[in-house]
Amino acid sequence: MRLLKLVPDDTNIDFLRWRKVASAMSIILVVISIALVAVRGLNLGIDFVGGQSVRVEFTQDMPPIDEIREKVGDIGLGEATIQQFGSDKAVSIRTALPDGGKATAERAGQQLVAGLNKAFPTAKTGSVETVSGKVSEELLRTGAISLALAMLGISIYIWVRFEWQFGVGALGRLFHEVALTFGFFAVTQIQFDLNSVAALLTIVGYSLNDTIVVYDRIRENLKKYRKMDIIPLLNLSINETLSRTVMTSVAMLLALGMLLIFGPDVIFGFTAAILLGVFVGTYSSILMSTPILVWLKVGPHSFVPRTTAGIEGGERVERKDDGAVV
Amino acid sequence: MLDFPRWKTIGISIILLLGILFSIPSFLPEKTVNNLPSFLQAKVNLGLDLAGGSHLLLEADIADLRKTQLANMEKTVRTAMRGESGPDDDIAIGELSTAGGKISFLVRDLAKLDAARERLFSETRGTQQQMGQRDWNITVIDSTRIVMTPTGAGQAEAVKNAMDTARDIIDKRVNALGTREPTIIREGDDRVVVQVPGLQDPAALKELIGKTARLEFRMVDTNADPNEAAAGRVPVGSEIVPYAVGEGNGAAFEVLRRQVMISGEQLINAQQSYDPQSNQPVVSIRFDSGGSATFAKVTAQNVGKRFAMVLDGKVLSAPSINEPILGGSAQISGSFSVASANALAISLRSGALPVKMTVVEERTVTPELGADSIRKGAIAGIIATVSVLVLMLVVYGRFGVYACVALIFNVFLIIAVMAAFNATLTLPGIAGFVLTIGAAVDANVLINERIREELKRGRRPFQAVELGYTEASRAIFDANVTNVIAASLMFWFGSGPIKGFAVVLTIGIVTSVFTAVTVTRMFVAHWLRTKRPTAINI
């Protein structure tokens, strides 16, 4: 049986030739993302701003959004945010809490649901959520803390397991990925809520996974080929791990794509964000996390144990001369 | 490394079989599970977003608690100063104030200052006395005035006690609703989480637990001049109490005596029933013997006057006493519906909450939406898993088959471990599931790519496979440790959905490494040993 090979054998692509272009592009994208978040803002869900949110499902054809907006406006709860779910006949309707209440979500929801039932007698309310301002502030804080700590904790681990340059590289890459994901939420205006934070953390985890695989190979090759220049060595490491990078990404994109198409619309935004994260992550593994090492001047000396440096000379061999029969 | 001793094979097989065995109950309907032996009863719980139901987060009003605490201490001080053995024992006090959260009063007879302090000392020792912690600090200023300040430890203790009691009372009230398996747990210092699966309408639930249900019967002050009262001036010993919304037939308030005739603590039962005359829903209550005696005595003394039923500081009704009420039972009337009368009856039966609780977060999902999410989530999960399996087969051939079998075992193991820990599966949890599958696939990809590489370098099959596993393990280990770091941080700091995601991810990482590395290695080793292939197609 002939097996499928996603990447041909023995690729030898000079990826690092594009490192300046790629880095410039990454920086531009990060800047654009930050600008988008600043200018356009995120569509923050009630988890983070407080308020009430009701999911309404229409049994027959869904009335136009403008009509829904008008009728919700008549309930008298102020400006409503109305968002359509996937392809379903369902919308999420979001408003502030009735009395602008910071402390209470006591009677919230009821008024909105009652009003909706009156305006659209055939529609069903699928879920009701109310979050008071106080709780949403806490959720925002804990969400931000867990994201920051996850990034920091992981970078420290890499620093301990590898060298400081790798830790910095990982942190830089994480920042890149997280910034782009925020940009994605700003562009699409997909609701940013607690699930989105979970998505961000997933992207962070996945990114790291990728970084580690490539860094592990770089470390291995740095020990093996002491005399090789850093750029060819990084190119070699990327090429050697290329088929794994592609295969894993394809598998992930496949799984997430299925979840996106067939999964419940409630996690649509969540899945879409991770999907983007995997896509960006694949690019980053190749063209983002490795060039950082060039600038941070990683070299064979990074892994030479200081006392035994001279003794291990036997390992100074050229590539493909490591005892294997070619 | 490829040397697999028999005991290892047996051990791994037992773990895999146990995984399948313990994951079975989670796939079966509840009725069937109940017939299984008890060690097989554990199954994965479905989160409210999947099962449908209500999640409420309640927060105690600590300021309200401090106020009650202060009022109680004020009462204690007055009682203590009254003395036990008659009027000779009294200590005359004056200018009692509770301003600024402290109690301060003047002792009129200076000779009795020390005696007064002594009496208060025994009242305020607190439960932490062995540690030298007192509930209140007592100081004397200007040699005439006693000032009592609540200590931090005393206040923390009071909050803790109040929250424990509040949790128990909420538990009683929610259970009275008769829903299945509600969860009521304390969270943080001043919060209680209530989760009721399968509930359609949270309004009744909120009605039930949102009420403090502090019931008081108090006499209406008939000496008060209505015009004076409207201007806010009332006789000493009385106060203005507003009517509850919709009660009072146009009257906005009543002037009531401060003294409480009977309180809700003296109830032994409360039931929803109907008023025989008007056929309106009411709440019938019964007092305990002490309460009955007091009620009989007071009503006998005050025929022709009115008393008021006060619930949570609002007057419900203020009927006239036509004749002494001797039987120890009464009816609370007001504009009730059957449901609200029933809710009040339950609240009264379970006792008053020691502190006012407000709902600060609510999430309700209807069971239909939950079922829809489950169905779509399961379908998507299966399709996603199958497509990944196909990809593995097409790319890695025989090694792909091993990876696939390991992957399927992984799914069973995750479910089994979740069931064993009674973990809850939420919607983000399903996404975490998919991600774990991704991690398991990645581990196999790493191993298989490495084997390919080593073969290309001209190594013999045995050596290539051996190197593939050892060299790839390093990266797999590092990658999964970082994921565990991320997952545990999510678990500690995250809330709700993030936690559900972290639980599945953590369990999944452990089982993925086990199945993707150890289990596949067992398969490969067995194949290599029995077939001794000279070439590997990978």
> Residue B477: which CATH number?
1.20.1640.10
Percentage of chain B surpassing pLDDT 90? 17
Q: Minimal Cα–Cα distance from B174 to chain A, Å? A: 17
The pair of structure tokens assigned to B96 is: 């009692």
Range of the domain at B314: 217-338
Same domain assignment for residues B131 and B276: no
Q: Which of B394, B478, B487 sits opposite A212 (nearest CB)?
A: B478
B404-416 pLDDT, tens digit each:
999 999 999 999 9
The strand pairing partners of B46, in sequence order, are B425
DSSP at A192: B
- Total tally of structural domains belonging to chain B: 3
- Our CA angle for A28, A31, A37, nearest 5°, is 140
Same domain assignment for residues B526 and B483: yes
| Contact (CB, 8 A) for A229 and A318 | no
What does the alpha-carbon distance between residue B503 and residue B433 come to, in Å, rounded to a whole number?
A: 10
Enter the pTM of the model: 0.77
Residues 6+ apart with CB under 8 A from B525: B2, B3, B4
CA atoms within 13 Å, Cβ hemisphere of A122: 8
Same domain assignment for residues B321 and B392: no
CATH number at residue B113: 3.30.1360
Q: Minimal Cα–Cα distance from B169 to chain A, Å? A: 19
Q: Which of B449, B452, B470 to mutate to test the interface with A (most CBs of A within 10 A)?
A: B449
- Sorting pLDDT into bands at 50, 70 and 90, what band is A104? very low
Residue A42 scores a pLDDT above 50: yes
Same domain assignment for residues B403 and B457: yes
B56, part of any domain: no
Residue B305 scores a pLDDT above 60: yes
The dihedral through the CA atoms of B177, B179, B185, B186 has a sign that is: negative
Q: Minimal Cα–Cα distance from A318 to chain B, Å? A: 14
Same domain assignment for residues B80 and B24: no
| Contact (CB, 8 A) for B271 and B346 | no
B245, part of any domain: yes
Residue B89 scores a pLDDT above 80: no
| Contact (CB, 8 A) for B20 and B412 | yes
Residue B79 scores a pLDDT above 90: no
B183-204 pLDDT, tens digit each:
888 988 889 999 888 776 777 7
B168, part of any domain: no
Question: Do residue A243 and residue B381 have CB atoms under 8 angstroms apart?
Answer: no
Residues 6+ apart with CB under 8 A from B322: B303
Same domain assignment for residues B374 and B492: yes
**Does B379 contact A at CB distance below 8 Å?**
yes
**Does B463 contact A at CB distance below 8 Å?**
no
Range B434-471 burial, b when 16+ CB lie within 10 A, else e:
bbbbbbbbbbbbbbbbbbbbbbebebebbebbbbbbeb
Q: Minimal Cα–Cα distance from A146 to chain B, Å? A: 6
R_g of chain A computed on alpha carbons: 25
Q: Which of B191, B364, B492 to mutate to test the interface with A (most CBs of A within 10 A)?
A: B364
Q: Residue B37 in 3-state DSSP?
A: coil
Please report the residues numbered 242 through 301 in chain B whose beta carbons come closer than 8 angstroms to any beta carbon of chain A: none
Please report the residues numbered 401 through 430 in chain B whose beta carbons come closer than 8 angstroms to any beta carbon of chain A: 427-428, 430
Burial of B223 (0-12, 13-18, 19+ CB in 10 A): exposed
Q: Residue A128 in 3-state DSSP?
A: strand
Domain boundary among B301, B319, B338: B338
Same domain assignment for residues B323 and B446: no
The mean pLDDT value of chain B amounts to 85
Same domain assignment for residues B139 and B237: no
Contacts of A124 in chain B (CB under 8 A): 366, 368
A179-215 pLDDT, tens digit each:
999 999 999 988 898 888 888 888 888 888 888 889 9
Residues 6+ apart with CB under 8 A from B301: none
B24, part of any domain: yes
Give all strands (DSSP E) within B294-370, no chain letters: 307-311, 314-317, 329-332, 357-365
| Contact (CB, 8 A) for A93 and A120 | no
Residue B128 scores a pLDDT above 60: no
Q: Residue B253 in 3-state DSSP?
A: strand
**Does B492 contact A at CB distance below 8 Å?**
yes
Contacts of B397 in chain A (CB under 8 A): 1, 3
What does the alpha-carbon distance between residue B470 and residue B205 come to, in Å, rounded to a whole number?
A: 57
B475-530 pLDDT, tens digit each:
898 888 888 887 887 788 777 777 888 888 889 999 999 999 999 999 999 898 88
CATH number at residue B227: 3.30.1360.200
Same domain assignment for residues B377 and B318: no
Burial of A3 (0-12, 13-18, 19+ CB in 10 A): middle
> According to the model, what pLDDT value does residue B484 have?
85
Residue A183 phi, psi dihedral angles, 5° rounding: -60, -40
Domain boundary among B114, B130, B154: B154
B176, part of any domain: no
CA nearest to A195 within chain B: B497
| Contact (CB, 8 A) for B12 and B522 | yes
Q: Which of A9-13, B292-296, B353-357, B398-402 shows the lowest per-residue confidence on average (mean pLDDT)?
A: A9-13
A316-323 long-range contacts, Cβ below 8 Å, gap at least 24?
Answer: A316/A226, A316/A227, A317/A224, A317/A225, A318/A225, A318/A227, A318/A228, A319/A225, A319/A228, A319/A236, A320/B457, A322/A224, A322/B457
What does the alpha-carbon distance between residue B406 and residue B421 come to, in Å, rounded to a whole number?
A: 22
Q: Minimal Cα–Cα distance from A14 to chain B, Å? A: 19
B315 versus B206: the higher-pLDDT residue is: B315
Question: Do residue A157 and residue B485 have CB atoms under 8 angstroms apart?
Answer: yes
B396, part of any domain: yes
Domain boundary among B121, B154, B187: B154
B23-76 pLDDT, tens digit each:
988 888 878 888 888 888 888 888 888 888 888 889 998 888 888 888 888 878
**Cβ atoms within 10 Å of B320's Cβ, excluding its own:** 11
CA B145 remoteness from chain centre: 44
The pair of structure tokens assigned to B103 is: 């109690």
Same domain assignment for residues B377 and B509: yes
CA B92 remoteness from chain centre: 47
CA nearest to B395 within chain A: A4
Place of tokens 């032994």: B268
> According to the model, what pLDDT value does residue A314 have?
41
B86-95 long-range contacts, Cβ below 8 Å, gap at least 24?
Answer: B91/B115, B91/B116, B91/B119, B95/B145
> According to the model, what pLDDT value does residue B126 have?
63
Q: Which of B206, B446, B459 sits opposite A106 (nearest CB)?
A: B206
Q: Which of A128, A255, A264 sits opposite B434 (nearest CB)?
A: A255
| Contact (CB, 8 A) for B372 and B402 | no
| Contact (CB, 8 A) for A80 and A20 | no
B390, part of any domain: yes
Residue A266 scores a pLDDT above 80: no
CA nearest to B491 within chain A: A146
Nearest Cα neighbor of A220 from B394, B339, B470, B272 is: B470
User: Could you tell me whether strands B93-97 and B253-257 are parallel, antiparallel, or unpaired per DSSP bridges?
Assistant: unpaired
Average pLDDT over residues B387-403: 91
The pair of structure tokens assigned to A229 is: 């220049």
Widest distance between CA atoms in chain B:
109
Residue A319 scores a pLDDT above 60: no
- Whether ipTM > 0.95 holds is no
Q: Which of B475, B478, B482 sits opposite A205 (nearest CB)?
A: B482
Average pLDDT over residues B293-302: 89
Q: Minimal Cα–Cα distance from B214 to chain A, Å? A: 19
Same domain assignment for residues B449 and B377: yes
> According to the model, what pLDDT value does residue B144 have?
83
CA B37 remoteness from chain centre: 30
B172, part of any domain: no
Same domain assignment for residues B31 and B147: no
Burial of B535 (0-12, 13-18, 19+ CB in 10 A): exposed
The dihedral through the CA atoms of A50, A51, A55, A58 has a sign that is: negative
Question: Do residue B369 and residue A158 have CB atoms under 8 angstroms apart?
Answer: no
Residue A141 scores a pLDDT above 60: yes
B148 versus A89: the higher-pLDDT residue is: B148
Q: Which of B427, B457, B537 sits opposite A3 (nearest CB)?
A: B537
> According to the model, what pLDDT value does residue B200 have?
65
| Contact (CB, 8 A) for B387 and B407 | no
Helices and strands (DSSP H and E) totals, chain B: 15, 19
Q: Which of A4, A204, A216 sits opposite B478 (nearest CB)?
A: A216
Q: Which of B388, B494, B537 sits opposite A255 (nearest CB)?
A: B388
